[in-house]
Amino acid sequence: MAAHFFCDGIQRRDFLKIGALSSVGLGLSDYLGLDNVNAATKAKANSAIYVRLAGGPSHMDTFDMKPDAPDTHRGEFKEIATNVPGVRISEHLPKLAKCADKYTILRGVSHALAAHRLGAEYLMTGNRPMPALKYPTYGAVVSKELGAPNDIPSSVAIPKGPNAPTGFLGLEYGPFETGASPKAGQAMNIRGLSLSNGLTLNDIDRRNNLVKRYDTAFGSFAKEDKVLSGMDKFSQKAYEMMRSSRTREAFDLTREPASVSGLFSNEGFSQSCLLATRLVESGVRLVSVQFGGWDTHRDNFSRLKDKNLPNLDDGLAGLFKALDAKGLLETTAVFVTGEFGRTPKINQRGGRDHYPRAMFCLLAGGGMQGGQVIGASDEKGEGPRDRVISPDDVAATFYHTLGIDHTKEYHTPTGRPVMIVRHGKLIPELV
């Protein structure tokens, strides 16, 4: 999947200094170990998939159609019926229309941050960004609260995670990044995970012994340094994963039966969704999938019709159907969102601009009742009609399905108490 640069110039940066490692998503060579933590009680789900539609998809051309709005607003697309009576979505999402009973549409989700980075941080943490504090993303919190077996990553990002995924929590809760999208019918060759260039497990064993010698010589020093202690956790976790046939098999799409792989197209996003189902089946707690290209300031309708919506339709419909077929939908919470919606009024370039006052989110699985539409925007899609749903509320509900108390307090390295989600309230229709 190609990297995308947004109109406000935000892009990922690689940090070379070791002290900056805590602010990036980590590949296997940087992936740090996790101590298993007792799972919270009353969980309906034990894993999650977070789908980020990077750039901000138009709500009015997807899941919140306004056929009666003025022609300056409503756009070119028609709406179609779904398999849920009374629920209608874009004509370019026919597969999702046929499985609408498996997910819930949240309409009228609203906030006030129109910049990509800030909006993304809000929707990936459930907390409005603050200059002096970096909140951990969903993957980091889930990793800390639920953990994973030693030979399986707790959090995986396809192809990459966001900047600063762990916030103030630290290195050990960063995601394992695949670095690329999977290709249909091929096992993924992931740097550090796949043995190549003549490398054998005996070589890995010898290198691990060197690490143990280092720990013996410098262990007391490392314990005093947070970064070094984190890297110690990494080395053991990386070693276990490299030796693990279970981990290598989890990333091997050739092992999927045709009855499941046939639910997906060969496009990168669709194959990423297939891999996500396979990873949660193998024990990964949270998989994040990024699908970019939604920053449609110009040619909104041709870009959506020709590429984005068909790929979204293939990938998400396949995801819901595959989870259901594997018996995983009830135990896997799915959250689909961009960072904001787009302007109801079409601009002079045939596009739609940033618009956080109204957007959609999708929630599914994890014991949440599908086939619902919760909330609504007004007749022109310009804002919530009566009920406001905030990103905080969506985050609180998402955590709730995983048995994580969103009011739980963490402490920053300086001792500052911080709630997982500061202001969120549970969405009653989903709990």
Domains: count for the chain? 2
- Do 117 and 245 have their domain in common? no
User: Does residue 269 lie within any of the structural domains?
Assistant: yes
Closest CA to 318 of 366, 361, 273: 273
Distance CA 140, CA 109 (A): 24
CA atoms within 13 A on the CB side of 355: 26
User: Does residue 352 lie within any of the structural domains?
Assistant: yes
- Do 87 and 199 have their domain in common? no
The one-character DSSP state at 388 is: -
What pLDDT score does 233 carry? 57
- Do 56 and 118 have their domain in common? yes
CATH number at residue 379: 3.40.720.10
- Do 237 and 266 have their domain in common? no
**CB-based burial label for 209 (10 Å; 0-12, 13-18, 19+):** exposed
Per the listing, tokens 């792989």 go with 261
Q: What predicted TM-score, i.e. pTM, was given to this entire model?
A: 0.85
Judge whether 284 and 47 are in contact, CB under 8 Å.
yes
- The end-to-end CA distance of the chain, in Å, is 35
- Do 290 and 350 have their domain in common? yes
Distance CA 424, CA 182 (A): 35
- Please give the residue range of the domain that contains residue 277: 44-190+256-430
29: Cβ contacts below 8 Å, ≥ 6 apart: 191, 192, 238
- Do 77 and 103 have their domain in common? yes
Closest CA to 63 of 89, 82, 83, 86: 89
User: Does residue 243 lie within any of the structural domains?
Assistant: yes
What pLDDT score does 361 carry? 98
CA 264 to chain centre: 19
Q: Is the peptide bond before 159 cis (omega within 30 degrees of 0)?
A: yes
What pLDDT score does 323 carry? 98
Give the pLDDT of the chain (431 residues) as one tens digit per residue: 445 556 654 443 333 333 333 344 455 444 433 333 333 447 899 999 999 999 999 999 999 999 999 999 999 999 999 999 999 999 999 999 999 999 999 999 999 999 999 999 999 999 999 999 999 999 999 999 998 877 888 999 999 998 889 999 988 898 989 989 999 988 887 765 644 444 444 544 455 455 455 455 555 544 554 444 444 554 455 556 655 677 888 899 999 999 999 999 999 999 999 999 999 999 999 999 999 999 999 999 999 999 999 999 999 999 999 999 999 999 999 999 999 999 999 999 999 999 999 999 999 999 999 999 999 999 999 999 999 999 999 999 999 999 999 999 999 999 999 999 999 999 999 99
